[in-house]
Amino acid sequence: KEYFQNLVEPLHSNRMEKIEFETIHQRKNKTTYWVEVHLQKNTYQGKSVFTAIILDISERKRTEESRAMALSIYESSTEAIMVTNGIHHIMDINPAFTRITGFKRKDVIGRTPKMIYSDRHDEAFYKEQWETLQDQGHWQGEIWKRRKDGTIYPAWLNMSIIPNRDDKRSRYISQFTDITEKKRKDEVIWAQANYDALTNLPNRRLLHDRLGLEMKKVHRTGSGLALLFIDLDHFKEINDTMGHAKGDLILIESARRISACVRDSDTIARLGGDEFTAIIPEFEDKKQIERIAQQIINYLSQPFYFKGDENGYYISASIGITIYPDDAENIEELLKNADQAMYQAKAEGRQRYNYFAHSMQLKAREKLKLTQDMRGALSNQELEVYYQPIVNLKTGEIVKSEALLRWAHPVLGWVSPGQFIHLAEESGLIHEIGEWVFLQVITHIKKWIGLTGRILPVCVNKSPLQFESESHGSTWSEQLEKLDLPGNSITMEITEGLLLKESPNIKRLLMSLRDSGIEVSIDDFGTGFSALSYLKKFDIDYIKIDRSFIRKIMEDDSDRVLTEAIIVMAHKLGIKAIAEGVETEAQRKLLLSFGCDFAQGFLYAPALPAEKFEALLVK
In the complex, the residues that contact ligand C2E under the rule CB under 6 A are 388, 403-405, 416-418, 421, 434, 437, 461, 463, 523-524, 547, 581-583, 600-602, 607
**CB-wise, 334 or 566, nearer to Ca ion?**
566
Nearer to ligand C2E, 376 or 606 (CB): 606
For the chain, what's the residue count? 619
Q: Figure out which of the listed residues 493, 496, 519, 597 binds Ca ion, where binding follows CB under 5 A.
A: 493
Of residues 172 and 407, the one with the C-beta less far from Ca ion: 407
HEC secondary structure over 171-219: EEEEEEEECHHHHHHHHHHHHHHHECCCCCCECHHHHHHHHHHHHHHHH
d(CA 351, CA 297): 6
**566 class by beta-carbon count within 10 Å (0-12 exposed, 13-18 middle, 19+ buried):** buried
> Cα–Cα distances in Å, from 452 out to 438, 449, 455, 618?
21, 5, 8, 7
If the CB atoms of residues 269 and 610 are measured against Ca ion, the closer one turns out to be 610
**Which of ligand C2E, Ca ion, none does 277 bind, CB closer than 5 to 8 A by kind?**
none
Between 457 and 601, whose beta carbon lies closer to ligand C2E?
A: 601
Which of these ranges, 131-139, 406-414, 488-496, 592-600, lies near Ca ion under the rule CB under 5 A?
Answer: 488-496
**524 lines the binding site for Ca ion (CB under 5 A):** yes
Give least dist CB 275 to ligand C2E, A.
Answer: 28
Q: CB-based contacts of 515: which residues, under 8 Å, 6+ apart?
A: none
Long-range contacts, stretch 205-211, CB < 8 angstroms, 24+ apart: 206/267, 206/269, 207/267, 207/269, 207/271, 207/277, 207/279, 208/331, 210/267, 210/269, 210/279, 211/267, 211/279, 211/331, 211/334, 211/335
- Residue 496 binds to Ca ion (criterion: CB under 5 A): no
- In whole angstroms, how close is the CB of 528 to Ca ion at the nearest point? 11
Task: Select 607 or 610, whichever has its Cβ closest to ligand C2E.
Answer: 607
Is 519 a residue that touches Ca ion (CB under 5 A)? no
CB of 589 to Ca ion, least distance (A): 22
Determine which residue in the list 496, 523, 559, 597 makes contact with Ca ion, applying CB under 5 A: 523
In the list Ca ion, ligand C2E, none, the entry touching 583 (Cβ below 5 to 8 angstroms by class) is ligand C2E
513 binds, among Ca ion, ligand C2E, none (CB under 5 to 8 A by kind): none
Q: Which is nearer to ligand C2E, 224 or 434 (CB)?
A: 434
Binding to Ca ion by CB under 5 A, coded x per residue (else -) over 451-470, reads ----------x---------
Q: What is the largest CA-CA distance in the chain?
A: 158
State the minimum distance, in angstroms, from the CB of residue 477 to ligand C2E: 18
Q: Which does 337 bind (CB under 5 to 8 A by kind): Ca ion, ligand C2E, none?
A: none
Closer by beta carbon to ligand C2E, 211 or else 403: 403
Burial of 41 (0-12, 13-18, 19+ CB in 10 A): middle
Give which of 386, 470, 474, 374 is closest to 426, Cα–Cα: 374
The whole-angstrom separation of Cα 129 and Cα 350 is 60
Q: How many CA atoms lie within 13 A of 143 on its CB side?
A: 23
Distances (CA, A) of 517 to 55, 111, 455: 111, 98, 14
The strand pair at 413-415 and 18-26 is best described as unpaired
Which of the residues 555 through 614 are near Ca ion (CB under 5 A)?
580
Min separation Cβ 251 and Ca ion, Å: 35
Q: How far is the CB of 196 from ligand C2E (least distance, A)?
A: 37
Shortest CA distance to 592 belongs to which of 390, 395, 391, 394?
394
The helices-and-strands tally (H runs, E runs) of the chain is 23, 25
Shortest distance, position 459 Cβ to ligand C2E, whole Å: 8
Task: Please report how close the Cβ of residue 313 comes to ligand C2E at its closest, in angstroms.
Answer: 30
Distance CA 550, CA 369 (A): 35
Which among 83, 102, 189, 104 is positioned nearest to 152, based on CA atoms? 102
> Which of Ca ion, ligand C2E, none does 602 bind, CB closer than 5 to 8 A by kind?
ligand C2E
Q: How far apart are CA 293 and CA 228, in angstroms?
A: 8
Residue 366 Cβ, how far from ligand C2E at the closest point, in Å? Answer: 19
Collect all residues with Cβ–Cβ distance below 8 Å to 539 and sequence separation of at least 6: 514, 520
Based on CB atoms, which residue is closest to ligand C2E, 39 or 607?
A: 607
- In the complex with Ca ion, the residue whose CB is nearer, 37 or 460, is 460
Min dist. Cβ of residue 418 to ligand C2E (A): 5
Cβ closest to Ca ion, residue 154 vs residue 457: 457
Q: How far is the CB of 587 from Ca ion (least distance, A)?
A: 16
Residues of this chain that bind Ca ion (CB under 5 A): 461, 493, 523-524, 580
